[in-house]
Every structure is written in C-alpha cells, then in structure tokens.
A and B are shown apart, each in its own frame.
Chain A
C-alpha cells in the first residue's frame, strides 16, 4: 500500500520535473544551457492557473502556459544567441525575473481556488498490479508528458531535424557548412525548452496541487537542469532522475503523514540529497556525453 502510494506520488510529483528535463535536454542538445527554467516553470504555473480560475477551462490553460514559457525561452534565446550574452548569467537573471514577476502578477490568485485537471483513470492499464495506479491513474498532463518524452526521443534520434539539432550542439560550423542554420535551430530549441518547462509548471499548479502560491515551483526547475546530466542528455533517460526526485518528494510527505518526529525541514532536504547522490553516481560513470558547444559555455566563464 505504501509502495503503491509512493510510486503514484513519484509520478505525480515527478511529472513537472520530467517535462523540465525534457525541455532543457532539447535546449542543451543545441548548445544552450537555460538556468532560467525555474522562471519558465513559475510563469507556466501562474498563467495556467489564471486561465483556469478565470475560464474554468484547463485545456485552454495548456496552450496559454506554453506560450508564456515560450516567450521566456525567446527572451533567453535573444540574449544568449543574438546578443551573445553569458548564458549562465542570463539564465540566472531569467529565473529571478520569472519568480518575481509571477509573485507580483499572481498576488490576487493566492486564495482563489480552481478545479483544474482531475485524475483520469485509464481502464485496464490502471489495473496492472503495483505500477498500474502509479502510471495510469493520473492527470492528463502526466499522460501528455509520456507522449512528449517519447516524441522527443523520436525527434532527436530519428529525424533529420533532430540530427541537425544535435549537430548544432556539437559543432555549429559543421551545421552551417551543410546549409542548415544553427541560429534558427538554437532559437527553436530554447523556445521549445521554455514551453516544456512551463507545461511542467502548469501540471504543478492546475493538475497536482490545485493551488497557486508564489515560489511554488520550489527549485524544481533548477533541479531539472542538474538532472539533465544524470540523463546523459538523453530524453529517454529523463524519467529516471525526475521520478527519483518525485519519489523523494512523495516519501517526505508519506513520512510526515505517518507522524514521524522528524523536522519537516530535514525531510524536505531528502530530494536534494538524493539528487546529489545521483549526480555523484553519474559522475563515476564519466559519460563524456556533454555536447561540445555546451562545454564552450563553461570554458568561456
């Protein structure tokens, strides 16, 4: 019983991170690191919530959140690609901008309640023992995240677009020499990354917690950036890190519900400690899979 609720919690809580990891992977594969994912998530979470609260239409909230996140991505892209600003500095600034902006714009929605998405049980599949509930008794955005994850793998590894995108992250000169436009590829992928992060944020506000509160993303966006390395820049592995993080979140809640006499602050640290352990484990494998153009970002600091 506890295992099942842990797994269900892992998926529920991990979906927002999964989407962020997917988005950030695409962006980093093209050679741009966006530390502003946290800001994109916050923007997505707020705008989805506003649309939901005002119209009661959660399906309308999804495109709005994506557009808002995409605009955040565009802002990052403009600065780091067209203006050649430092990627790390721009990303951090974008993160605080997003957090501040949403705190301001969302101040009147903190006490507003809205239904948003509810769980949608998929018949038969949800009856699979142990994992059935966890995977197939979830909200629609979570189902969407499965499709997006799979879709990203297809896009990156099975299409010419993906080939060029990955090549852009490795050596932009080569891409240019073959008549493709690396700048366009980077813009597209950073915007796509922003949109996916925002969708993750939307899941958090309108499908998972059904509340809006400032800073509700709780550093999931930043963790997402770290988890991209654990996934070795492969969207197919994005779920590993995301669900570990989700499971830790769920575990913390279960422990609290069990009434354990542990400080909630300590429990809240569990996910981050786990991510550190996972990063350590990933570093032992020494997978030098980091896109070459991305290395330049760090070497240039």
Chain B
C-alpha cells in the first residue's frame, strides 16, 4: 500500500458522475478512484447522497451523466453487468428472503454458470469462506430465525460465493451490529483486503472507518468535498467538520452546563413506579420489581442491551400494555389503570423504538401526522383548517431545527432518518410533561443527533421529565442526570453518571450484578 499505487489503473473509477431526480440533484460530478487491495470509505451525513452513488455503481440507478470505468474501460452498468464485472453489494436492507434458509438464499444468488453445483459442494464452500474470514454462517438455518448480524454475514458470504467478486460495496454495514460484532467486522474486511478484494465502505461512523480505511472521501450535499489518505494521516476533527459543514461542527455541546441547572433534591416527582412488573408478548414477566422515580426536569437514562424489556417498559408507562403488578403514579395521581388517552391528555408522549412500525401511518403526509397526535388542531367552521396548520408547522422553529422534510411529503416515501425526525418533532411539539424516548438518535447522523440532544435538553429545561432509552453509553452519560440499567429481568440503579464509568455500566448490561451481596451494595448505593 505504498505510494506506487498511484501509478496503477484504478479498478473502479467514476468520472463526473451525476444523478438528478427531477429538479433535485442527488449526486453532482462525482469523481472517485478505487484501487486494488484497498479500503475506500465514503463518509457523509444522512441524505448526503451516499446511497444514490452506490446504487449507480451497482446499476440500480442509471446516472444522468458521467461515466463509470472498470479497469480503465468505460462500462455501462446494470445489476447483471455489475455482477459480471465482479462488483458485489451488501445492501443496507439485506436482499434476503426470510422464509428461505441461508443456503437457499445463497443458491438463489448464484450466477447461472454455477447452478449445476451440488448442495453439498456449496455448503463446503460456505464453510470454507466462513472459516477463512471468521464469518460463521449456518447454511440450514432460516433467515427469519437470525438476528441482524447473522443476516449480514449471510449476505456477505453470498457475495463472496461469486467466484469473480473483486469489489465489495458495504452500505452502512455497522449500523446493525453490536459493539463486539463491529470489531469482528473490521477484522473481516481487513482480511478481505489482504486477500485481494477492494472495498467501498459507506458509513457515517468515523471511528470505525479511521481504523481501517486507506482513503476517506467525504460526501456533502451530493458533492465529494474532500479526500483524505491514510499516508497523510486522518484527523477526526477535520473530517467531522468537513462532513457536517463548518458552522455545525463548531457548535460544541455543553452537556454539563445543562445538568448544573437541575436541582434534584427539590424537584417535584413526575413519575413514580412502585414494585412494577412488566409482561412481554408471551405473558412472561420480563422485568420485575421496578422502583423508579423520575423528577420534573430530569433526564433518566436507561441503559441495557436492546430487547431486554425496554419496549415493554415504555409501552407499559404509556398505557399500551397492562402491568402485571405494582403501581404507577404520575404527577401525584395513581394512573396504574388509566387508559392511553388519559395519559396523553396528561402530557405523556412516546417515541417508540421502531417508529416506522409503531408510530407512523404510511400513506399519510407529515402534516397530517402532526395533527394525528401532537400539533394543536385549528378548525374553521366544522372542519380542520389545514392551511393554518400547514402555515404554523412551516413556521415552527422545532420543525426547522430538527430538519423535518417538506411537510406535504408522504410518510411512505421518507427514509428511516427522516421518519425519526418527523416522529421526534411530533412528540416534542406538544411540549410533553413526560417524554418516553426510545433510541431517539438511532439512524441519525452526527449533526442531527446533536440537534436532537439540544432539543431534549431544551425540553428538560422547561421542566419536562424524560426517560431516555439508549444503547449508546456515550449518549447516556452525556445526557442523563441519573442512569439505570436493565439486565437480567431487573432494573439496576440508579447511578450518577459522574460517579460511575461506562465500563461498570457495560458490565451490568452484559451480566447483571454477579452476586447478591454486590447487588445489595448497588441497591443501597442507589438507595
């Protein structure tokens, strides 16, 4: 990987690649060079045009102008042609059929020339690849049984199975992976590079990229703004500021400042749970004996590996589920048995962990969503006065700061990040007294996460209580006044962020607290 690489012909090159959708230019004059045996990262915020670019490289979109060169030869790319040229794509939304086994999915993808192979032969090849790159795949398992990390491995094996694959394109590969899986993933792509593959990584997570990439290109508003090379050294701050634009990057968040204003001892209670037990969809008790207090103007962070009862917790507090036992008090009244409507009227708001599934009606526009739950309804005569509502929303500061797209747009056409923005804006626009926020920054880029955090802190300053559920310990430590941890069917805590460490919290997340005496200590300490 020395400087002699520059004399080589790039394995993949784009010249002046441009893609327009109507009036909107998604990519403009993109010039990229990918060399053999290298990892080329493409960084940019949501909506910077990364996915559009990749889809052009794979032939899903036809470029409006510009050309793609493979081994220095101009090539017209279709998905079929891309495969022939050895380009393999690992899509963000995996192209796998859940009702099929891994083997069946892999066989489906094999090119015609290899279809004569026997199943046993294919399985052997899968085992070899798994071994070589450390990507275990069980060929006989159904995809619907697998978690996202396993699905990604199937997808990768699928692409590697094609004998002529030389270029691998990964679209946001680490967004579905847990912390440990990310490490394994980085090792895997490094091994792939050693074995002669060229890799394009699309991502907005810089830390991962900086550890392995040979070159980082920054995409902003559809234009490549910068190229950084490993031999020149990567400077995180420079890259971040290039990704986000100078103005955003310099707005440094002061989390401590926000916390200082909060006087825990004198703040009135907002929500108090006593011996609350939650049941999951199968009727089992998923978290038992919860004693929680959230004060007005407090952010209570809830850490834990996802799927350990976070969903049940917020849904029970919001009234979507019935608790098994225990009581809940909200603003001094017992609401254990109150319906959802009463809770909403009393100022509760929920951002669910999968807004696309739970919070959104595809087919309706953003402004209709806002009115459906959140924005105040303006009437004219007997009907809703949509014009006034639209005008109010368009003038709303919150809608602008969160970067909600054009409010006439249909939810079904929005990307995950934009749905997240819409749902956040809707929950916050009515200034809730208690916000149950599950993973509010999931799927958002650095710039927007920053804005989300600011908005939440703003809300807290106005006296709202926030229960913040997250897997991201940095976020939890920055934002929370107090922390608790879900593990092992219990809630541990609470902890003061300044008096504990991410390592300690991480250990509790993974294994709960080891023995009883230790557990008592922690409960006492929290006491």
> Which residues from chain A sit less than 8 Å from chain B, CB to CB?
160, 163-164, 166-167, 170-171, 173-175, 177-179, 289, 291-292
A170-B97 contact in complex given A163-B107, A178-B108, A179-B80, C-beta closer than 8 Å: yes
B96, chain A: closest CB distance, angstroms? 7
**Given the known A-B contacts A179-B79, A179-B80, are A163 and B104 also in contact in the complex, defined by CB atoms under 8 Å?**
yes
Q: Residue B100 at the A interface, CB < 8 A?
A: yes
The residue in chain B whose Cβ has the minimal distance to the Cβ of A161 is B115
Nearest-neighbour CB distance to chain B for A153, whole angstroms, equals 15
Task: Select from chain A the residue with minimum beta-carbon distance to B91.
Answer: A177
Instruction: Please list the 4 inter-chain residue pairs (A to B) with the smallest Cβ-Cβ separation, ordered nearest first.
Output: A170-B97, A179-B80, A160-B115, A174-B95
| Nearest chain A residue, comparing its CB with the CB of B119 | A158
Q: Does B109 contact A (CB under 8 A)?
A: yes
Taking the closest CB of chain B, its distance from the CB of A30, in whole angstroms, is 13
Query: Does B100 contact A170, Cβ atoms closer than 8 Å?
Result: yes
Question: Counting CB contacts under 8 A, is B523 at the interface?
Answer: no
Extra pairs beyond A167-B108, A179-B83 (6, CB < 8 Å) = A163-B104, A163-B108, A166-B99, A167-B97, A171-B97, A174-B95
Closest to A179 in B: B80
Q: Given A160-B115, A178-B109, A179-B80, A170–B104 Cβ distance below 8 Å? A: no
Query: What's the nearest-Cβ distance from chain A to residue B67, in Å?
Result: 23
A166 to B79, CA, bound (A): 21
User: What is the bound-complex CA distance between A170 and B99, given in angstroms?
Assistant: 7
User: B residues within 8 Å of A by Cβ?
Assistant: 79-80, 83, 95-100, 104, 107-109, 111, 115
Chain A residue at smallest Cβ distance from B144: A288
- Determine whether the beta carbon of B108 is less than 8 Å from that of A174: yes
User: What's the least CB distance linking A161 to chain B, in Å?
Assistant: 10
Complex CA–CA separation, A289 to B97 (angstroms): 13
Q: Nearest CB to that of A173 among chain B residues? A: B95
Complex: A260 Cα to B30 Cα, angstroms: 85
The closest CB in chain B to the CB of A164 belongs to B108
Minimum CB distance partner of A166 in chain B: B100
Known contacts being A160-B115, A179-B79, A179-B80, is A174 close to B104, with CB within 8 Å? no
A178 to chain B, nearest CB (A): 5
Contacts of A164 in B (CB 8 A): 108
Chain B residues positioned under 8 Å from A167 (CB to CB): 97, 100, 108
B204 to chain A, nearest CB (A): 25
Complex interface: chain B residues within 8 A of A178 (CB): 108-109
Separation in Å of the A79 CB from the closest CB of chain B? 25
Chain A positions within 8 Å of B107 at CB level:
160, 163
Contact residues in A for B100 (Cβ distance below 8 Å):
166-167, 170
A224 to B182, CA, bound (A): 50
Residue of B whose beta carbon sits closest to that of A290: B99
**Min C-beta distance of A154 to chain B, whole Å:** 14
CA distance A217 to B98 in the complex (A): 38
Min CB gap A158→B, angstroms = 10
A-B contact pairs, 30 of them (CB 8 A): A160-B107, A160-B115, A163-B107, A163-B108, A164-B108, A166-B99, A166-B100, A167-B97, A167-B100, A167-B108, A170-B97, A170-B98, A170-B99, A170-B100, A171-B95, A171-B97, A173-B95, A174-B95, A174-B96, A174-B97, A175-B108, A177-B95, A178-B108, A178-B109, A179-B79, A179-B80, A179-B83, A289-B99, A292-B98, A292-B99
Closest CB in chain A relative to B299 CB, distance in Å: 39
Contact residues in A for B111 (Cβ distance below 8 Å): 179
With A and B bound together, what is the CA distance between A176 and B396 in angstroms?
Answer: 43
Q: How far is the CA of A175 from the CA of B100 in the complex (A)?
A: 13
Q: How far is the CA of A166 from the CA of B98 in the complex (A)?
A: 12
Tell me how far the C-beta of A143 lies from the nearest C-beta in chain B, rounded to whole angstroms: 31
**In angstroms, how far is the closest chain A Cβ from the Cβ of B164?**
14
Cα-based distance from A170 to B96 in the complex (angstroms): 10
Of B80, B107, B108, B115, which is in contact with the most chain A CB atoms at under 10 Å from its CB? B108
Contacts of B79 in A (CB 8 A): 177, 179
Give Cα A160 to B106, complex, Å: 12
CA of A160 to CA of B115 in the docked complex: distance in angstroms? 7
Chain A residues with CB under 8 Å of B97's CB are: 167, 170-171, 174, 292
Could you tell me the distance in whole angstroms from the C-beta of B81 to the nearest C-beta in chain A? 10
The closest CB in chain B to the CB of A169 belongs to: B99
Distance (whole angstroms) from the CB of B146 to the closest CB of chain A: 16
